[in-house]
Amino acid sequence: MGATVKSSTSVRNGVAQPHAVTQVQRAVITTAPATGATRVDPSQPITVSIAHGTLTSVRMTNPAGKVVTGALGAGRTSWRSSEDLGYGRRYTVAAVGTDAQGHAVTERSSFTTVNPVAQVHATIDRIGGYALTNGATYGVGIVPIVHFDNAITGKAARAAVLKTLSVTTSPHVVGAWAWYGTQDVHFRAQSYWPSGTKVTVAAKVYGKDLGHDVYGSADVQASFTIGRKEIAIAEDNAPKGVDKVRVYRNGTLVRTMNTSMGMHSGTYSGGNYIDFHTMQGTYTVLEHDNPAIMSSQSYGLSPKDPGGYAPEPIYYSTKISTDGIYLHYLDTIYAQDNGIDVSHGCLNLDHPNAVWYFDHSMIGDPVQISGTHGPTIDVAQGGDWSVPWTKWQTGSITGE
């Protein structure tokens, strides 16, 4: 209701004179959410506004009496909280204002935030379960992964999760999220990331129902930069010729290395077939270990079986698969120089080459392997880049 004008009279020189008296409206304070509200989203700001007046103070407190931070807006006609609230808590708001004539008006309200049946924690990782380091520089094949510590099941829940995820890039890069299992969502660019790209990955899950009344425990975010473009291309030409690993940096060949890959055979151990072929497909550098402790037991071959071996240190080891394929130093020089495959799946290098690749490769650098006649590396082993883009775009790389 607007201000109203009432007529009245006064007497001047014996003659009645009309004049107007303005009636000022009372100030009205409104809070959002309204008092008594339940299941309020704790990630959304609480607001207070006043009509026909100005706010002089707003005090919002949690059940323990702690004041929630917030600030008055320009003109002192509004207030907005500036921190996330807790789950399952009752908050009280006490607001004071004045109208145009200085008359005080107060408003007191309370509400309760949503109380989930459970909470799920998210982390931002990379292939292999390693944390993706904020501020790091990675190779052009890096794959960010949002990992949840509990399963996300059902189409509706998965759709709710995807709405909370974002990837911001400069310059723009075409990419897509795809589920792997029930706890991991991978993001891959359509092609390798352009060098110099700035990337921020965020999961804004706090306050969001991720299905079955399960809510995210906290938002997470990580930013990184894409470094120079380095790709290693390994070709298994045995027995036709010497196996080579050629390293290209920004399109220019910078290193050619002889190698010995997985022997073209396998064996049985405990009723299981152990394949010694090096898997084909696109890997990425996952870690640098000096030394890596390797044992045939890690891939199911007992050290007591023929071809098995006990744990031993292997130096200058660059890991490229989650199940233990490395480019590493091993003194199999005759095999490396003569195109003879003698390893259990790794790529053996001589000492200078192993040291060089260990020193010059970066986490996320692609390693493309072909000609081994082995199976193709799958996502469980770190083969995200071996998944066809058309398959990736379906939103699931496990067929679920």
Active site residues: 328, 346
Decide: helix, strand or coil at residue 191: coil
Side-chain half-sphere of 45: how many Cα atoms within 13 Å? 12
Print burial letters for 44-57: b (CB count within 10 Å at least 16), e (below 16): eebbbbbebbebee
Contact 122, 160 (CB under 8 A): no
CA separation for the pair 128, 184 (Å, rounded) = 12
Tokens of 40: 């309020």
SS3 at position 158 = helix
Distance of CA 316 to the CA centre of its chain: 30
Q: To which H or E segment does residue 22 belong?
A: strand 15-23
Burial track 11-30 (b if 16+ CB lie within 10 A, e otherwise): eeeeeeeeeeeeeeeebebe
Place of tokens 């390293």: 247
Residue 235 DSSP SS3: strand
Between the CA of residue 161 and those of 154, 185, 189, 202, 244, what are the distances in Å?
A: 11, 9, 19, 12, 44
The alpha carbon of residue 336 and the mean position of all alpha carbons in its chain are separated, in whole angstroms, by 40
